[in-house]
């Protein structure tokens, strides 16, 4: 299958377009009728729903690429870029400029995610490339103590694997979503050992703060965002009165506590 | 299955990398990028250099995927199914690019940092042991080109068996219990003994030179757009035809195959059909792919539109350019005579142009002032060979039966591993197989010295003293080959008496050279005892004011030990020269009324600036004199004063900026030519295969078209624009080349013939001058092509010639003017502005200076400079294999490999000066100053620094001032007019 890369140029253009759209909306909204300035108005409510739906695509990407059934993980990756950019615009529209309320934190998270993603793709990838051959000390004389400790971890992994996935070879195995769903306790234990081994190799540490941690931070922010969206949806659906704070409730809701 | 058990599985493939053979040339990197069309910053393999900081050492590590049994990269990949696969049979770990989302977790996870990343297409890249090549039954790209046979590919078990049979041990690199498949063979133990500087197998406290990986320098390359075919899918760069030819850059003259898809050149590889090189090829040859697809190439004739040096030009047509140049040349001739035209024909322009077209043009025009780069590189050895042997170059060959059969290799000032990497690879391979020893005499531990059994860190400029002491010890102990000396040398007795009488003992040489007397005695005895010793000399010997005499001394050393005219024994100072010397008919050659100003173009600047001894008013330069000529400040002033300056070049450079007209040239496969003058006497033919870029033209075309404007077309004929016709009809007239026809060159798939060959069916001669043979082209019975048929050490005629310039044919020791100790040096009686005397060593009549040897003293120039704080020896020379002069500086990958101008400095000295590795330093001589980046390296004399040639101020990637701002045009050998470029006093400081 031909790999469809999302180039830096495309990414930067998309980001610029999204930023322009958001800026244009914030400038234009003062001249728009009242309903276009209320996050809970039907139009902006729908924008919020659509934005949230689009922003769930990156979460779906994370599951799809780990789920074992995706034929085109790169396509999913590209979709995560496009959908999150469009979603961010719609969420900005939905916010209607109410940036001093708690939900605005979600907007902040989107911006941080986007900035981190763009940095990783445009600048971080060069650092990634420069990693090649940066660990020549690995070719020095081995440390027997490290080897002994590693040996113990690998043995433990092999024992665990016999229960977790008897057909698998430890040398090429890593825990998948299916393992997490089927045997979460064993999967967690194996995952812990794998992390222990990785820590002994010290490769993430060696890569430096930015390169080593941008992705864990990106993923953590993404899940915080998803959680934030969930909280927001529950709040506006079940605690509409609290959200409206005495004002009219124009959006679809189940309870107006 | 355990990792150990897995690693013994049959069918597991691997690379085996021999650290004893690897010279860090980076040819494997070039091959890998070509094979997989990897752009800047993208790697599947990389050669890492490490310098010793505490003790002298230089180590090279070819870093590539280990194809682990437990690949950390694969396990780290979050995609399911994985975007990294491991073949269960071969064990090859590879990336499935179509599934890779570019997260980089695999890059992070590899503890060997052997996982690459494509920063443009955002995905992991890694070595897959050339899946596509393997499918066609080929070896990996890296193994196919390795000049030193350091990389082998095959079944892991078989490779381990080979290593065991060779008595070699693999290194244990499995720190992480990943079960790496790649085998690294450890270095052999050094031959260390007290009293000798030894080469350690691993440098203590070694460190990677910071400048090589500096992020800012690499960013310049990474952000450049890789030219075709880098980055293309395989199908778009798969060749449909292959044309054999060769590389036209350096003296190794690698044979090469040029791969085309339609009319597009998509790849350059070694020629595996070549019985000698067998596909080995250095990185430069491969990197010429970037010469032919290069946005920086000159494409149209240009006329200066601003002040000289301002670099403002307007595009003009060829007709306008040539008409205007011809008109201006005519005016110069009318005003100052034909001798006022100077022609500097560099080697970039090609051997056919250098020795053919321009020679005829100069003869037809009537100027003696035509010269190439020889006086900067090798004229001293050329003169020494002519005087001693009667012809330039060694008669030996790089074959197993000849050079390969030597028992001892001694390198004097020759960094062959970096300057002719394929030849060195062959020599090193032979010596590892035969157990022959290798000794390197060099002020710095070069890549060559790093492979040697012993490294002797000589004081620069004193190789003559070492040679004299070696001879003295051999003669004093009667270790010489008496039969050879008696039968085949002339003047041996006079020379022997002189050496013994002058007291050039090892004890005398010790304080001069810095090498212990015991080591000198040991080396002398080894040379005398070896059943075949090849003594290599090169620029470290040649580029001195005593270059001719030092070469002669080393020649005599080889001769008296019987290492001349035998297999496995030689004095080998680089190229044999290519015997092309066509002449225009006598009646078409105007009488030349004035002597050549000087042999060295460095001696032309007074004539340009001050009109003395007579005016030179026009210059046609086919190289880059504004980086290459010594004493750059004076050269710039001289060029500014010219009435006409024409520059014929591939790339716009410093010289172009000063030219009135810049003419875009063609090169290599764009025009058809032979390779450079070759160490091995091989004439390598390169067909014209593609058109030059834009309106660029072959140099021959330019000279023929210019010649038409003066009516030279009866000699420089239109049909000679076809280089094959020019070769057959004009170039091979001599008995030495007559058999080297196009038909013969094209009759073999490797496209070379070793000269001399007197007829088309004459066999090639592996070793010339063997006992019982007659040298080609001389009277019967003359074993050597001298008038006497013997090697000439001393004759009354020779003595007379030397006396003409104030010296003696008996080589009295002297060194350079600028030294850290008081040594005898040469004082020239005439400046370049004087007519001087006619040199008895040059043709045509050429001016030179008389000279006298002056004893070192507190009043000597060196002492005065030392008093001013010039406390360091400056060495200059070639950088590593990926570079050659300035043209490789326009190739992105050469710049990726070797980005910035560096200054090698001993860590102790750097510490005293507060200089850290990678910091900018200022290097200043009495002649000028430049800046460079510090490279801390304990493998250099603590009193010396080394700065390489080739960088220039107007280069596109990493512009730096040329090292020739530090050199001095007035320090020249009066015999050969060779400039001293190898030792000047300087001072070094951190740049502000």
How far is residue A202's CA from residue A217's CA, in Å, rounded to a whole number? Answer: 18
With contacts defined as CB-CB under 8 Å, which chain A residues touch B72? 198, 201, 203
Same-domain check for residues A79 and A167: no
User: Which of B190, B220, B253 represents a domain boundary (last residue)?
Assistant: B190
Residues of chain B found within 8 Å of residue A141, distances taken between Cβ atoms? 172
Within a domain: residue B210? no
Number of structural domains found in chain A: 2
Picking from B697, B718, B740, the residue at the C-terminal end of a domain is B740
B43 found inside a domain: yes
> Do residues A107 and A16 share a domain?
yes
Residue in chain B lying closest to A139 (CA):
B173
For an interface test with B, which of A73, A76, A78, A198 has the most B Cβ atoms less than 10 Å from its Cβ? A73
The CB density around residue B791, as the number of other CB atoms within 10 Å, is 27
| Same-domain status, A14 and A79 | yes
Do B333 and B417 sit in the same domain of this protein?
no
Q: Specify if B644 maps to a domain.
A: yes
Residues B544, B592 share a domain:
no
Pick from A7, A117, A121, A136 the residue to mutate for testing the B interface (most B CBs within 10 Å).
Answer: A136
> Quick check: helix, strand or coil at residue B238?
coil
Give the whole-angstrom CA distance, residue B66 versus residue A138.
12
Spatial CA neighbour of B953 closest among B930, B972, B919 = B930
Measured CA to CA in angstroms, residue B189 lies from B204, B408, B750 at distances of 14, 18, 38
Is the Cβ–Cβ distance between B933 and B211 less than 8 Å?
Answer: yes
pLDDT at A37: 84
Residue A157 belongs to some domain of the structure: yes
Contact call for B43 and A132, based on CB within 8 A: yes
Residues B465 and B569 in one domain: yes
Residue B204 clears pLDDT 80, i.e. is over it? no
How far is the C-alpha of B878 from the C-alpha of B447, rounded, in Å?
12
Do residues A195 and A216 share a domain? no
Residue B587 has pLDDT above 60, yes or no: yes
Q: What's the DSSP call for residue B566?
A: B
Same domain, yes or no: A193 and A100: no
Q: Do A139 and B112 touch (CB under 8 A)?
A: yes
CATH of residue B872: 2.40.40.20
Is there a domain that residue A85 lies in? yes
Residue B354 placed within a domain: yes
In a domain, A167, yes or no: yes
Same domain, B559 and B517: yes
Beta strands in B401-513 (DSSP E): 408-412, 437-441, 454-456, 489-490
Structure tokens at B936: 């801390």
Cα separation, B727 vs B247, whole angstroms:
18
Domain residue limits at B986: 861-990
Angle of the B463-476 helix axis to the B506-513 helix axis, nearest 10: 170
Q: How far apart are CA B573 and CA B411, in angstroms?
A: 10
State the pLDDT at residue B190. Answer: 67
Across B563-592, average pLDDT: 95
pLDDT tens for B719-737 read: 999 999 999 999 999 999 9
- In this predicted structure, the answer to whether residue B321 has a pLDDT above a threshold of 50 is yes
Cross-chain CB nearest to A142 (options B6, B103, B174): B174
CA angle A86, A6, B43 (to 5 degrees): 150
Q: What is the rounded distance in angstroms from the CA atom of residue B675 to the CA atom of residue B352? A: 9
- Same structural domain, B131 and B15: yes
**A249 within domain boundaries:** no
User: Any bridge partners for residue B403, and if so which?
Assistant: none
Q: What is the CATH number of the domain that holds B71?
A: 3.30.70.20
Give the least confident one: A106-110, B35-39, B906-910.
A106-110
pLDDT at B5 over 80: no
- Residue B164 CB neighbours (<10 A): 11
Is residue B499 included in any domain, yes or no? Answer: yes
pLDDT score recorded for residue B205:
63
C-alpha–C-alpha distance, residues A203 and B110, integer Å: 7
| Residue B401 sits in the same domain as residue B431 | yes
pLDDT at A257 (0 to 100): 84
A108 within 8 A of A37, measured Cβ to Cβ: no
From the CA of A23, how many Å to the nearest CA of chain B? 29
Does residue B297 fall inside a structural domain?
no
Nearest residue in chain B measured CA to CA from A129: B117
A70: containing domain: 8-124+210-244
Size of interface A-B (CB pairs under 8 A): 170
Q: Which residues of B are less than 8 Å from A77 in CB distance?
A: 101-102
Is residue B939 in a domain?
yes
What pairing do the DSSP bridges indicate for beta strands B116-118 and B93-95? Answer: unpaired
Note whether B34 and B126 are same-domain residues.
yes
Task: Specify if A219 maps to a domain.
Answer: yes
Residues B414 and B548 in one domain: yes
Q: Are residues B721 and B604 in the same domain?
A: yes
Q: Does residue B924 sit within a domain? A: yes
The number of folded domains in chain B is 4
Per the domain annotation, does A254 fall within a domain? no
> Rounded to two decimals, what is the model's pTM?
0.94
Alpha carbon of B893: minimum distance to chain A alpha carbons (Å): 15
- Reading the block at residue B477, the tokens are 């102990």
Interface probe with B: pick from A4, A6, A80, A129, most Cβ of B within 10 Å: A129
- Of the candidates B48, B103, B184, the beta carbon closest to that of A215 is on B103
Tens of pLDDT, residue by residue over B956-977, are 999 999 999 999 999 999 999 9
What pLDDT was estimated at residue B786? Answer: 97
Does residue B353 sit in the same domain as residue B467?
no
Q: Is A201 in Cβ contact with B113 (below 8 Å)?
A: no
Give the distance, in angstroms, between the CA of residue A175 and the centroid of all CA atoms in the same chain: 19
Site of tokens 């020759």: B414
- Asked whether the predicted pLDDT for residue B196 surpasses 60, the reply is no
**Model confidence over B529-576: pLDDT tens digits?**
999 999 999 999 999 999 999 999 999 999 999 999 999 999 999 988
Q: Do B132 and B168 belong to one domain?
A: yes
Please state, in angstroms and rounded to a whole number, the distance separating the CA atoms of residues B948 and B209: 15
- Nearest CB to B41: which of A5, A126, A215? A126
* Mean pLDDT for the stretch of residues A218-226: 93
What CATH number did the domain enclosing B325 receive?
3.40.50.740
* Backbone CA torsion sign across B704, B705, B707, B713: positive
Q: Give the closest of A67, A138, A171 to B111, CB-based.
A: A138
Q: For residue B202, what pLDDT is reported?
A: 42
- Name the one residue in this structure whose structure tokens are 């015999």: B975
The angle subtended at Cα B105 by Cα B100 and Cα B110, nearest 5°, is: 110
Lowest-pLDDT range, B208-217, B501-510, B800-809? B208-217
Segment B282-310 shows an average pLDDT of: 95
**Does residue B446 share a domain with residue B334?**
no
CATH number of the domain enclosing B408: 3.40.228.10
* Closest to B873 (Cα-Cα) out of B804, B806, B943, B786: B943
CA distance A127 to chain B (A): 8
Find the helix packing angle between A184-201 and A144-164, rounded to 10°. 160
Minimum-distance CB partner of B122 among A2, A121, A143: A121
Residues above pLDDT 90, as percent of chain B: 92
Is residue B309 within 8 A of residue B640, CB to CB? The reply is yes
The Cα B259–Cα B608 span in angstroms is: 46
Alpha carbon of A63: minimum distance to chain B alpha carbons (Å): 10
- pLDDT tens profile B855-900: 999 999 999 999 999 999 999 999 999 999 999 999 999 999 999 9
Triad B499, B500, B505: Cα angle to 5°: 85
Tell me the pLDDT tens digit for each residue of A158-182.
999 999 999 999 999 999 999 999 9
Q: Do B172 and A142 touch (CB under 8 A)?
A: yes
Question: Which of A154, A202, A204 has the CB atom closest to B177's CB atom?
Answer: A154
The mean per-residue pLDDT over the stretch B787-814 comes to 98
Give bridge partners of residue A149 from the DSSP assignment.
none
End-to-end CA distance of chain A: 53
Nearest CA in chain A to B41: A129
Instruction: State how far the Cα of B475 lies from the Cα of B819, in Å rounded to an integer.
Output: 29
Are residues A189 and A112 located together in one domain of the fold? no
Task: Mark yes or no for CB contact A142/B81 under 8 Å.
Answer: no
- With CA atoms as reference, the chain A residue closest to B47 would be A133
Structural domain contains residue A94: yes
Does the structure show a pLDDT above 60 at B745? yes
B202, B189, B181: which is closest to B16 by C-alpha? Answer: B181
**What is the distance in angstroms between the Cα of B917 and the nearest Cα belonging to chain A?**
17
Best residue of A63, A71, A128 to probe chain B, by most B CBs closer than 10 Å: A128
Is residue A41 domain-shared with residue A164, that is, in the same domain?
Answer: no
Q: Are B102 and A125 a contacting pair at CB < 8 A?
A: yes
Residues A24 and A86 in one domain: yes
Q: How far is A3 from chain B (nearest CA, A)?
A: 5
Within a domain: A12: yes
């Amino acid at each position: 299958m031909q790999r469809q890369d999302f180039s830096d140029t495309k990414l930067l253009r998309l980001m610029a377009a999204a930023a322009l759209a958001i800026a244009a909306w914030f400038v234009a909204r003062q001249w728009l009728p009242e309903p276009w300035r209320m996050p809970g108005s039907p139009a902006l409510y729908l924008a919020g729903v659509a934005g949230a739906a689009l922003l769930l695509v990156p979460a779906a990407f994370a599951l799809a690429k780990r789920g074992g059934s995706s034929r085109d993980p790169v396509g999913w990756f590209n979709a995560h870029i496009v959908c999150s950019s469009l979603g961010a615009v719609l969420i900005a529209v939905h916010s209607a400029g109410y940036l001093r309320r708690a939900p605005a934190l979600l907007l902040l998270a989107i911006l941080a995610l986007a900035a981190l993603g763009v940095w990783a793709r445009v600048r971080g990838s060069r650092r990634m490339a420069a990693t090649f051959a940066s660990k020549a000390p690995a070719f020095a004389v081995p440390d027997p103590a490290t080897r002994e400790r590693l040996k113990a971890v690998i043995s433990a992994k092999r024992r665990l694997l016999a229960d977790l996935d008897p057909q698998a070879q430890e040398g090429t195995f890593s825990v998948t979503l299916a393992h997490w769903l089927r045997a979460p306790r064993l999967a967690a234990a194996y995952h812990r050992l794998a992390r222990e081994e990785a820590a002994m190799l010290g490769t993430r540490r060696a890569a430096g703060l930015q390169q080593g941690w941008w992705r864990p931070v990106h993923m953590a922010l993404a899940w915080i965002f998803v959680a934030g969206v969930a909280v927001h949806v529950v709040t506006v659906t079940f605690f509409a009165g609290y959200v409206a704070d005495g004002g009219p409730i124009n959006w679809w809701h189940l309870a107006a506590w | 299955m355990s990792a150990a058990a897995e690693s013994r599985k049959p069918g597991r493939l691997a690379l085996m990398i021999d650290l004893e053979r690897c010279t860090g040339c980076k040819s494997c990197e070039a091959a890998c990028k070509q094979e997989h069309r990897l752009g800047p910053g993208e790697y599947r393999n990389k050669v890492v250099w490490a310098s010793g900081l505490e003790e002298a050492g230089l180590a090279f590590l070819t870093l590539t995927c280990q194809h682990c049994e437990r690949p950390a990269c694969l396990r780290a990949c979050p995609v399911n199914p994985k975007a990294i696969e491991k073949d269960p049979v071969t064990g090859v770990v590879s990336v499935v690019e179509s599934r890779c989302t570019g997260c980089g977790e695999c890059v992070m996870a590899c503890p060997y940092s052997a996982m690459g990343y494509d920063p443009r297409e955002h995905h992991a890249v890694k070595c897959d042991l050339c899946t596509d090549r393997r499918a066609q039954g080929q070896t990996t790209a890296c193994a196919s080109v390795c000049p030193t046979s350091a990389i082998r590919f095959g079944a892991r078990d078989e490779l381990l068996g080979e290593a065991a049979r060779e008595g070699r041990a693999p290194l244990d690199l499995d720190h992480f219990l990943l079960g790496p498949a790649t085998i690294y063979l450890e270095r052999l133990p050094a031959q260390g003994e007290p009293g000798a500087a030894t080469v350690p197998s691993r440098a203590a406290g070694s460190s990677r030179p910071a400048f090589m990986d500096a992020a800012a320098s690499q960013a310049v390359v990474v952000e450049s757009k890789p030219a075709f075919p880098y980055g293309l899918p395989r199908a778009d760069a798969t060749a449909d035809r292959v044309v054999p030819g060769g590389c036209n850059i350096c003296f190794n003259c690698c044979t090469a195959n040029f791969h085309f898809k339609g009319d597009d050149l998509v790849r350059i590889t070694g020629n595996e059909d070549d019985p000698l090189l067998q596909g080995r090829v250095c990185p430069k040859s491969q990197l010429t792919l970037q010469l032919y697809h290069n946005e920086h190439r000159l494409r149209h004739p240009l006329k200066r539109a601003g002040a000289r040096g301002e670099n403002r030009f307007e595009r003009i047509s060829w007709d306008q350019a040539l008409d205007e140049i011809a008109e201006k040349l005519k005016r110069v001739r009318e005003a100052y005579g034909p001798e006022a035209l100077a022609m500097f024909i560099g080697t970039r322009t090609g051997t056919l142009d250098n020795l053919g077209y321009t020679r005829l043009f100069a003869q037809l025009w009537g100027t003696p002032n035509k010269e190439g780069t020889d006086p900067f590189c090798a004229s001293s050895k050329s003169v020494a060979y002519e005087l001693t042997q009667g012809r330039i170059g060694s008669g030996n060959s790089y074959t197993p039966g000849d050079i390969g059969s030597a028992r001892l290799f001694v390198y004097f000032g020759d960094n062959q591993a970096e300057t002719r990497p394929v030849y060195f690879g062959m020599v090193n391979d032979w010596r590892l197989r035969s157990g022959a020893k290798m000794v390197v005499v060099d002020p710095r531990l070069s890549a060559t010295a790093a492979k040697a059994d012993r490294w002797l860190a000589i004081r620069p400029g004193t190789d003559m003293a070492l040679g004299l002491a070696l001879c003295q010890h051999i003669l004093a102990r009667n270790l010489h080959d008496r039969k050879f000396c008696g039968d085949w040398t002339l003047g041996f007795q006079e020379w022997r008496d002189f050496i013994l009488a002058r007291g050039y003992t090892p004890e005398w040489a010790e304080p001069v050279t810095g090498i212990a007397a015991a080591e000198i005695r040991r080396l002398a005895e080894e040379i005398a005892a070896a059943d075949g010793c090849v003594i290599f000399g090169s620029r470290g010997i040649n580029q001195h004011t005593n270059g001719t005499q030092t070469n002669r001394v080393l020649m005599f050393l080889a001769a008296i030990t019987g290492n001349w005219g035998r297999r496995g024994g030689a004095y080998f100072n680089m190229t044999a020269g290519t015997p092309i010397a066509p002449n225009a008919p006598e009646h078409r050659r105007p009488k030349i009324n004035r002597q050549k100003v000087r042999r060295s173009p460095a001696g032309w600047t007074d004539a340009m600036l001050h009109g003395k001894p007579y005016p030179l008013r026009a210059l046609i330069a086919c190289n880059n004199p504004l980086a290459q000529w010594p004493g750059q400040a004076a050269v710039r002033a001289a060029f500014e004063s010219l009435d006409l300056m024409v520059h014929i070049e591939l790339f716009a450079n410093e010289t172009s900026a000063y030219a009135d007209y810049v003419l875009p040239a063609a090169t290599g496969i764009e025009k058809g030519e032979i390779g450079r003058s070759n160490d091995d006497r091989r004439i390598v033919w390169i067909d014209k295969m593609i058109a030059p870029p834009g309106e660029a033209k072959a140099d021959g075309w330019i000279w023929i078209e210019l010649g038409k404007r003066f009516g030279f077309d009866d000699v420089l004929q239109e049909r000679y624009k076809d280089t094959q016709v020019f070769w057959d009809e004009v170039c091979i007239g001599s008995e030495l080349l007559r058999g080297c026809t196009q038909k013969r060159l094209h009759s073999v798939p490797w496209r070379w013939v070793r000269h001399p060959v007197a007829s088309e069916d004459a066999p090639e001669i592996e070793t010339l001058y063997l006992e019982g043979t007659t040298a080609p082209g001389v009277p019967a019975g003359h074993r050597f092509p001298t008038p006497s048929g013997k090697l000439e050490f001393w004759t009354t005629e020779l003595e007379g010639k030397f006396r003409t310039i104030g010296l003696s044919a008996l080589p009295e020791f002297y060194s350079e003017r600028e030294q850290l100790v008081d040594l005898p040096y040469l004082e020239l009686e005439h400046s370049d502005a004087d007519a001087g005397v006619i040199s008895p060593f040059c043709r045509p009549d050429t001016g030179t200076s008389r000279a006298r040897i002056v004893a070192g003293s507190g009043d000597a120039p060196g002492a005065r400079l030392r008093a001013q704080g010039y406390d360091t020896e400056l060495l200059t020379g070639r950088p590593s294999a990926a570079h050659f002069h300035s043209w490789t500086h326009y190739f992105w990958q050469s710049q990726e490999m070797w980005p910035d101008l560096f200054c090698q400095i001993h860590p102790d000295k750097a510490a005293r000066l507060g200089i850290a590795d990678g910091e900018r330093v200022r290097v200043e001589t009495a002649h000028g100053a430049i800046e460079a980046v510090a490279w801390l390296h304990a493998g250099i004399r603590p009193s010396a620094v080394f700065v390489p040639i080739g960088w220039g101020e107007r280069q596109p990637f990493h512009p730096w001032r040329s090292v020739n701002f530090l050199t001095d045009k007035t320090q020249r050998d009066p015999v050969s007019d060779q400039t001293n470029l190898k030792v000047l006093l300087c001072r070094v400081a951190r740049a502000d």
